């Protein structure tokens, strides 16, 4: 399993989350931090690598 860090950015109207080191357009968006992380986790489940372990995002453990 591969460990991946997720970056979450707060924008004026939403949160954007994306994994570092993953090629392609894998991005999550949401009205809250948690919603953005959940969205990018969902996108990673569909990512061709398949066996992705999502590590820590801002000190919180998240798993695909």
Q: Are 53 and 1 in contact (CB under 8 A)?
A: yes
pLDDT of residue 3: 75
* Per-residue pLDDT, 2: 66
Q: Alpha-carbon distance 16 to 14, whole Å?
A: 7
Q: What is the pLDDT of residue 43?
A: 83
Contact by Cβ (8 Å): 10, 60: no
Q: pTM for this one?
A: 0.69
pLDDT in tens, 24-35: 778 899 999 999
Helices (H), 1-64: 33-45
- Counting as low any pLDDT under 70, the low residues of the chain are 1-2, 47-64
- What is the reported pLDDT for 48? 65
Report the alpha-carbon angle 28-12-9, nearest 5.
Answer: 40
Closest among 21, 27, 60, 61 to 44, alpha carbons compared:
27
């Amino acid at each position: 399993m591969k460990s991946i860090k997720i970056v979450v950015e707060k924008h004026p109207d939403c949160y954007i989350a994306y994994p570092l080191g993953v090629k392609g357009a894998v991005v999550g968006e949401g009205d809250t931090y948690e919603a953005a992380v959940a969205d990018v986790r969902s996108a990673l489940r569909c990512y061709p690598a398949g066996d992705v372990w999502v590590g820590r995002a801002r000190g919180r453990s998240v798993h695909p």
